[in-house]
Amino acid sequence: MFIAKRLISLVGILIAMTFIVFSLQQIIPADPVRAIVGMNAPRATAEARRKELGLDQPLPQRYGRYLSRLAVGDLGVSTRTHRPVAVDLAHFLPASAELMLAAFAVGITLALAAALPNAAGHGGNAVATGIIAASSAPIFLVAQVFALILWYWLGWFPGGGRLGPDTPPPDGPTGLFVLDGLLNGHPSTSIEALYHLAIPALTLALPVAAALGRALTSSMTGVLRQTYVRTARAKGLSEFAVVRRHVLRNAAPVPVAMVGLQFQQMFMNILIVEGLFAWPGVGSYLVQAFAASDLPAILGVSIAFGGCYLVLAALIDVLQALLDPRIEAR
Amino acid sequence: MKSTVALRAGIAALALVAGKLPVCAETVLRVAYQKDISTFDPDNAFPLYGIDALHVIYQGLVQYQPGTTELTGWLAERWSVSEDGLTYRFRLHDNVRFHDGRALTASDVLAYFRRRKRPDLALSYFLNGVADMKAPDARTFVIRLTAPDPAFLDRLASAWGPKVVGPGALVDHAGSDHAETWLNEHEDGTGPYRITQINRGQRYVLSRNEDYWGKRPYFDRIQIEIVPQMAQQMLMLNKGDLDLIQNGYPFEQLRHLPSGLRLLVYDDLGLEMAYVNRSKRLRDPTLRRAVLTALNPAGWLDDAFFGFATPAHSLYPKAMIAAREPVDFPSDLAAARAIVAAAPPVTLEIGYGDQERAVQQRAAELLASALERIGIHATLRSYPLDQALLFAEDLQRAPDLYLAQNYPDAAHPATQTGVFFSSTAPLNFFGYKNPHIDQLIDAADRVSDRAERDRRYLVISQQLFADTAFIPLADIRDVIVYRQGLTGLDPRPALPWVVDYESIRRE
Amino acid sequence: MILRVLLRTELRTKSGALPLIGLLFITLLAVAGPIFAPANPLLRVDTPYLDPSFQHWLGTDEVGRDLLSRILYGIRLTWFPVLAVIALTSAIGTLVGAVAAAAGGLVELLLNRFCELMMVIPATLIALAAVASLGPGTWHLVAAISVFWWPWYARIAHTEIRRVATRAHVEAARLAGVGRPRLFLRYLLPAALPSLVVAASLDVANVILVLAMFSFLGLGAPAPAPELGAMTAQSLVSLTTHGWIPLSPAIVIFILAFTANLAGDGIRQRMEST
């Protein structure tokens, strides 16, 4: 019942979101036709194109057409790349996905490594302060420092791109080079992709690790004080069992909600990190779309991401309801 | 168990090492763009990024000679113009081949030019003055114009001019849109390089065409990376991951070049101009002249461009028309201050274009400081070019001044007036309309004699300046920073940001 | 009342006091710093790229402006907008969340979904659209950020109030006949306040960083305004030759955020131990 209600509202919000995003076009004072025909083209050419694309129609009509195309998965054609936006997204998304996955993996590991011993009483203030410092650093500072040290001075890792200049990208099915390299029998490609992932993923992982680490330490210490944990300890359960059984279970809801917040945050971070490391992902695509006033691409990316986030939020809600029986779904 | 693990680890390590070893004696040139290429279709590609690639993949009938605005043959061995200036005959080379091996004939050229004329292609307007075209024999191509156009050959030689695409695209892959979709990411040209790898947003690789009909270029491969951050490009150049940076190297850093890097400075056709919105706060001509005193480039040019710009001599880039004297700006700051003090207080909005945004921003900042000195407060705002095109629709919302560096289509002044100054010009941002100027432009466009034509165009420039409609500010020089040992870069004024990959080589 | 207790316990300990004093100092800098700035931050005053000297404590930047003056103005350009965003969003968010939780039923459902809608629209899109239409500017950015920032507070208020509503003592009060408005004001809302205060104090650092990020992307006040993020972005090309020029503004942002985070964390610890 709860799930059904949730799904209905999900669809409702999705449609509302598409309308808002679509209407934002009106505010952005860019001429989509000029993006197609170029600046030096005579006015007649531009006007003819405008009529042809139906861009002189009023907003509700244009929205209706857009929605009907959206329903079949047609996100329009990018005026910059001249390809369907859906194709562009399919091309650029795996790069961002690989980066985000790597960042989350590293970030969660770092967070657990820092938070678990800290909650149990080891490490003390130093670790906690370190986590706080890590979450206070602006992402562009972190990126530049890592790039300077790990690439420019020490030369341990490459400073940009997904693969070295002499390595062709694997033909693989997923678009995740680490995976595709293995699937296509080129393990060296996978290793090279890992090397190229290192600095950008580390940069993105830091805010994730810091936020999760703080959430985990705070919710874990909060929980650790509660009665039943004391009881469990009194019963003689080992430290590890206490942490695992009671603490994580009850501390989980807060970080779970945090993951959702992290998603939005990461989207913003990715714009910067992809730009700084020449990473050809959705962030770069969006930045270039804005620079070129490529409205179909801007809309397409925003709606795609908004949609993803909505689904994720709905999932988290369901998960949270399952984990905390006290919050009853009305 | 253990031995197989060790074996696999060993193989992986070997593969890794092998992958990292340079292939024997392959010569690669590494360059980078800040923005992605939009399309490889020469009839749709109007942005500035990618011209260097298109220049070596496709070829037109005529081209500019390196370092000049003089024309020379390309696919055409020679050409002739009829007495009445209406008919152009081109004699084509006889050994040209397309990348798929087919020989080039005049009928291929005709088919391509017909395609270029299609109105749904962005660059079709280049052939607007063409009445009809013929291919009387396999090596002759004839174009007849509706009216004489002394700029026609320049249009053909333009960076965005017609470049012959072969039947491998136009016939074999025509599809339903005359190969427009296919040519986004494929090519069928005649040039010394072909595209061998397209990785959108990341990298493009051009490989040498081994069957090229002309002189064999030096490099096996040209590798183009997309690196949006200039800071990153600079670091890569220092480390040796890049061989050159064609444009965008910050001027303030040019005096601190690390060892091993060299500079090549040249003039291009981009003129830094200020457009004046005469319908808003600058309605009063006396106030406009006072503003001109602050706009005088002598006061701020060096601060903005660190010596890499010279004051403009006219509303045409120096490479196009070399006027002898600099523009005569009023220089009496005290008088200007008096005028401003006498008028009601005014705050001006200065817009600036986003072509090389950092440079425009700097110029706008300095202009604002200069205006402060005569008592006018100024605010700044960046306007991408396509937003600037909407200025004329609502002059009250548009800024008072707009700074931009824009490029004409080619080296002939007609392309400058036609793009910026005439009443119907697409980049006439504030919609300045003056029938007298239009008449002058029309008359000048018809003149073939170079000296007479230049004189007439300069008259137009002086009148526009006297009317404070368009203010010529500076010729900003282009700088290529490259690793020492490279030579033959051969830039051309009419081809902005283009290094000639056909002639570049390592010593 | 809570705040008074909070501050007293907080100031008693050294670890709690230090960050708060730091915040006070920052506020002082934001208000008074520019008055003591040695030079006009917008104009070129000397040769570019000068090393730190007695005349210019941090040297000059790539245009020839005094870096110290720019940073002092930059702190103000960061601090005031941050406080504005926090004040605005926490107020709006609390109101919406509390109303949703208290009203229940359809109102709650609609408000919840509205929250979700606002959280879903990609933040960057809103900021970019706002800047594209209104023009760049710090306060335009504040408005844009506030639009997508308040739902977080609404959620917290909503969750906390609902959690408290199921607690035993609230049930008891309700059964004893306490009226709904009184129930709301005396039981539910005060119970949500601690979390909100903690959230707001932890949020200061986040807003600092988000503002810095958008400024770095060029969405803040246009040049030559000395916004810290924009300063880093514009001088990034000087990183290897004159590294302190792009790094100083970034480090200042870090110090601001770090201080705010420590203060917020101290407040959270106090709250949790009560």
Three-class DSSP category at B403: strand
Contact C269, C194 (CB under 8 A): no
- CA C85 to mean position of chain CA atoms: 6
The pair of structure tokens assigned to B81 is 């113009």
Residues 292-321 of A with CB under 8 A from C: 298, 301-302, 305-306, 309-310, 313
Pairing assessment for the beta strands B76-81 and B87-92 based on DSSP bridges: antiparallel
Pairing assessment for the beta strands B244-245 and B470-483 based on DSSP bridges: antiparallel
CATH of domain A95-296: 1.10.3720
Residue A28 backbone dihedrals phi, psi, to 5 degrees:
-70, 115
Mean pLDDT of chain B: 90
Contact B244, B234 (CB under 8 A): no
Provide the pLDDT confidence category of residue C77 given band limits of 50, 70 and 90: very high
**Helix H segments across A76-235?**
85-119, 124-134, 139-146, 177-183, 187-224, 227-234
Q: What percent of chain A shows pLDDT beyond 90?
A: 22
Please give the pLDDT value at position A211.
81
Put simply, the answer to whether B252 touches C44 (Cβ < 8 Å) is: no
**Residue-wise DSSP of B169-193:** HHTTT-TTTTTTTHHHH-----SSE
Q: Work out the average pLDDT over C113-128.
A: 76
Put simply, the answer to whether C224 touches B365 (Cβ < 8 Å) is: yes
Three-class DSSP category at C81: helix
The Cα of B226 is separated from the nearest Cα of chain A by a number of Å equal to 7
Give the position of tokens 């120096």.
B318
Contact A17, B97 (CB under 8 A): no
Q: Which of B238, B369, B380 faces C43 most closely, judged by CB atoms?
A: B369
Contact B272, B405 (CB under 8 A): yes
What is the enclosing helix (H) or strand (E) of B481? Answer: strand B470-483
Other chains touching A, judged by 3 or more CB pairs under 8 Å: B, C
Contact B402, B275 (CB under 8 A): yes
Put simply, the answer to whether C239 touches B361 (Cβ < 8 Å) is: no
In tens, the pLDDT along A62-101 reads: 888 888 888 888 888 888 888 899 999 999 999 999 999 9
The Cα–Cα gap between B48 and B69 comes to: 19
Q: Looking at this protein, which amino acid is placed at residue C21?
A: I
Q: Give chain C positions within 8 Å (CB) of A148.
A: 239
The Cα–Cα gap between A30 and A79 comes to: 12
ipTM exceeds 0.95 = no
The Cα of B39 is separated from the nearest Cα of chain A by a number of Å equal to 6
Q: For chains A and C, count residue pairs whose Cβ atoms are closer than 8 Å.
A: 132
Put simply, the answer to whether A144 touches C250 (Cβ < 8 Å) is: yes
The Cα–Cα gap between A253 and A258 comes to: 9
Neighbours of B2 (CB within 10 A): 6
The Cα–Cα gap between A117 and A102 comes to: 23
In tens, the pLDDT along A313-324 reads: 777 777 777 766
Pairing assessment for the beta strands B377-382 and B347-352 based on DSSP bridges: parallel
Q: What's the burial of A20, exposed, middle or buried (CB within 10 Å: 0-12/13-18/19+)? A: middle
Mean pLDDT of chain C: 83
- CA B178 to mean position of chain CA atoms: 26
Three-class DSSP category at B20: helix
Mean pLDDT of chain A: 80
The Cα of B190 is separated from the nearest Cα of chain A by a number of Å equal to 24
Degrees, nearest 5: CA angle C43-C47-C52:
95
What are the b/e assignments for C162-176, b being 16+ CB within 10 Å? bbbbeeeebeeeeee
Q: According to the 3-state scheme, what is the secondary structure of B72-141?
A: EECCEEEEEECCCCCEEEEEECCCCECCCCCECCHHHHHHHHHHHCCCCCCCHHHHCCEEEEEEEECCEE
Q: Give chain C positions within 8 Å (CB) of B380.
A: 222-224
Provide the pLDDT confidence category of residue B441 given band limits of 50, 70 and 90: very high
The pair of structure tokens assigned to C226 is 């000395």
Degrees, nearest 5: CA angle A64-A69-A75:
115
What is the enclosing helix (H) or strand (E) of B349? Answer: strand B347-352
Residue B137 has pLDDT above 70, yes or no: yes
Q: Which residue of B has its CA nearest to A290?
A: B384
Please give the pLDDT value at position B187.
93
Q: Work out the average pLDDT over C84-90.
A: 93
The pair of structure tokens assigned to B175 is 């599809």
The pair of structure tokens assigned to B453 is 């034509």
Put simply, the answer to whether C63 touches B230 (Cβ < 8 Å) is: no
Please give the pLDDT value at position C190.
77
Residue of higher predicted confidence among B506 and A239? B506
The Cα–Cα gap between B224 and B203 comes to: 6
Most confident option among B50-64, C38-52, C218-232? B50-64
Q: For chains A and B, count residue pairs whose Cβ atoms are closer than 8 Å.
A: 152
The pair of structure tokens assigned to B139 is 């090596």
Q: Which of C48, C223, C237 faces B361 most closely, judged by CB atoms?
A: C223
Q: Work out the average pLDDT over A13-18.
A: 80
Q: What's the burial of B16, exposed, middle or buried (CB within 10 Å: 0-12/13-18/19+)? A: middle
Please give the pLDDT value at position C260.
92
Put simply, the answer to whether C213 touches A264 (Cβ < 8 Å) is: no
Architecture of domain C41-273 in this structure: Orthogonal Bundle (1.10)
Residues written for chain C: 274
Residue of higher predicted confidence among B269 and C98? B269
The Cα of C117 is separated from the nearest Cα of chain A by a number of Å equal to 6
Residues 6+ apart with CB under 8 A from C39: C45, C56, C65, C66, C69
Pairing assessment for the beta strands B71-73 and B62-64 based on DSSP bridges: antiparallel
The Cα–Cα gap between A218 and C265 comes to: 9
Put simply, the answer to whether B231 touches C62 (Cβ < 8 Å) is: no
Reported pTM: 0.86
Residue of higher predicted confidence among C20 and B187? B187
Three-class DSSP category at B381: strand
**Helix H segments across B180-275?**
182-185, 230-239
| Helices and strands (DSSP H and E) totals, chain B | 15, 19
**Helix H segments across B328-434?**
333-342, 357-373, 385-388, 413-416
Contact B296, B330 (CB under 8 A): yes
Cis-peptide into B413, omega within 30 deg: no
B97 vs A288, B100, B166, B178, B191, CA distance in Å? 36, 8, 9, 21, 9
In tens, the pLDDT along A132-161 reads: 898 899 999 999 999 999 999 999 999 888
Put simply, the answer to whether A91 touches B235 (Cβ < 8 Å) is: no
Please give the pLDDT value at position A219.
62
Residue B314 has pLDDT above 80, yes or no: yes
Put simply, the answer to whether B382 touches C49 (Cβ < 8 Å) is: no
Contact C74, C249 (CB under 8 A): yes
Q: Give chain C positions within 8 Å (CB) of B386.
A: none
Q: Work out the average pLDDT over C36-53.
A: 85
Residue B4 has pLDDT above 60, yes or no: no
Most confident option among A123-137, B278-292, B371-385, C129-143? B278-292
Pairing assessment for the beta strands B401-406 and B347-352 based on DSSP bridges: parallel
Considering only CA atoms, which of A57, A119, A82 is closest in space to residue A248?
A119
Q: Give chain C positions within 8 Å (CB) of A16.
A: 117
Q: Give chain C positions within 8 Å (CB) of A136.
A: 205, 209, 254, 257-258, 260-261
Please give the pLDDT value at position C114.
84
In tens, the pLDDT along A162-208 reads: 998 888 888 878 889 998 888 888 899 999 999 999 999 999 999 88
Q: Which of B12, B125, B200 faces A41 most closely, judged by CB atoms?
A: B125
Q: Looking at this protein, which amino acid is placed at residue A202?
A: L
The pair of structure tokens assigned to B41 is 């279709």
Return left, alpha or beta for A161; rule: phi > 0 is left, psi -120 to 50 is alpha, else beta.
left
Please give the pLDDT value at position A328.
43
- CA C79 to mean position of chain CA atoms: 8
Put simply, the answer to whether C124 touches A267 (Cβ < 8 Å) is: yes
Question: For chain A, which residues make up each domain, given as ranges?
Answer: 95-296
Considering only CA atoms, which of B119, B16, B322, C150 is closest in space to residue A191?
B16
Please give the pLDDT value at position A330.
39
User: Which of A26, A34, A40 has the most B C-beta neighbours within 10 Å, making it the best mutation to test the interface with B?
Assistant: A40
The Cα–Cα gap between C47 and A244 comes to: 62
Q: What's the burial of B255, exposed, middle or buried (CB within 10 Å: 0-12/13-18/19+)? A: exposed
Sign of CA dihedral A174, A179, A181, A182: negative
